[in-house]
């Protein structure tokens, strides 16, 4: 019987038994992504400032669903990933096999080629939980990024995880020896306007440059 793991339950130590996986805080890895030229429009700036002011007093007490619907989804909708046969999917079913082990479950949010279901993933966002330790959220995202690489038969996948107001971006990379490195970015506080602008810019760059 084939061994299988759910994205929602797997740990870093379990992942590291399936693949050779390291975590890195080498922020230089994100320079190309984060420093790509993108000018926010006046409409975008007004949207971000209005959203931040409106949600600032309440975000700390939001449930997972409130956080997703009232704060995260408006940002993702404003970016508008739905273009050129690319779509975005919430709570999307995903399955992949890595080194003979099955990974399956539901991704909170994935940008992918596909109409009714994701076929070729480009970018994952995990989770929308307001108050949760980073460890398990990180591990779930790592598993999804590994699955994305397997599905695409590629060597790189991008994503982000969110805990309350805080965002971190992740690049998962596979080398020629089938070793994986999860590069984790610095933390961005979405209630700070400059950080929120950078989060929005990072997402737009994914849409414009990496969804291909």
Give 186-208 pLDDT, tens digit per residue. 999 999 999 999 999 999 999 99
**What pLDDT, on the 0 to 100 scale, is given for residue 59?**
87
**Mean pLDDT, range 112-134, rounded to an integer:** 84
Report the range of poorest mean pLDDT among 15-24, 120-129, 171-180: 120-129
- % of the chain residues with pLDDT over 90: 83
Let me know: does 86 contact 113? Beta carbons within 8 Å.
yes
**What pLDDT, on the 0 to 100 scale, is given for residue 196?**
98
pLDDT score of 67 more than 60: yes
**What pLDDT, on the 0 to 100 scale, is given for residue 84?**
84
Which residues, other chains included, contact 123 with Cβ-Cβ below 8 Å and sequence gap of 6+?
81, 110, 111, 157, 158, 159, 160, 206, 210, 211
Alpha-carbon distance of 78 to 47, in angstroms, equals 8
Rounded to the nearest angstrom, the gap between the alpha carbon of residue 154 and the centroid of all alpha carbons in its chain is 17
Which residues, other chains included, contact 98 with Cβ-Cβ below 8 Å and sequence gap of 6+?
18, 19, 146, 147, 150
**What pLDDT, on the 0 to 100 scale, is given for residue 1?**
54
**What pLDDT, on the 0 to 100 scale, is given for residue 89?**
96
Number of compact structural domains in the chain: 1
pTM exceeds 0.75 for this model = yes
Which residues, other chains included, contact 153 with Cβ-Cβ below 8 Å and sequence gap of 6+?
none
**What pLDDT, on the 0 to 100 scale, is given for residue 135?**
56
Q: Cβ–Cβ contacts within 10 Å for residue 32, how many? A: 11
Mean pLDDT: which of 17-21, 113-117, 128-132 is highest?
Answer: 17-21
**What pLDDT, on the 0 to 100 scale, is given for residue 3?**
83
pLDDT score of 47 more than 70: yes
Query: What average pLDDT does the structure give for the chain?
Result: 93
**Mean pLDDT, range 143-165, rounded to an integer:** 96
Give the residue carrying structure tokens 């971000």.
48
Domain encompassing residue 10? 4-210
């Amino acid at each position: 019987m084939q061994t299988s793991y759910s994205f929602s339950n797997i740990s870093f130590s379990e992942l590291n038994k399936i693949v050779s996986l390291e975590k890195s805080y080498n922020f230089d890895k994100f320079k190309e992504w984060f420093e790509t030229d993108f000018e926010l429009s006046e409409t975008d700036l007004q949207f971000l400032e209005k959203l931040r002011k409106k949600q600032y007093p309440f975000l700390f007490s939001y449930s997972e669903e409130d956080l997703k619907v009232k704060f995260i989804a408006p940002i993702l909708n404003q970016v508008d990933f739905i273009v050129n046969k690319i779509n975005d999917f919430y709570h999307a079913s995903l399955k992949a096999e890595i080194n003979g082990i099955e990974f399956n479950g539901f991704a909170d949010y994935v940008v992918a080629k596909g109409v009714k279901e994701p076929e070729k993933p480009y970018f994952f966002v995990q989770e929308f939980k307001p108050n949760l330790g980073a460890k398990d959220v990180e591990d779930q995202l790592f598993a999804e990024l590994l699955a994305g690489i397997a599905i695409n038969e590629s060597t790189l996948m991008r994503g982000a995880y969110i805990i309350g107001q805080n965002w971190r971006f992740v690049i998962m990379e596979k080398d020629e020896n089938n070793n994986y490195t999860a590069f984790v970015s610095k933390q961005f506080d979405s209630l700070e306007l400059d950080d929120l602008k950078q989060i929005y810019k990072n997402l737009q760059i994914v849409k414009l440059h990496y969804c291909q």
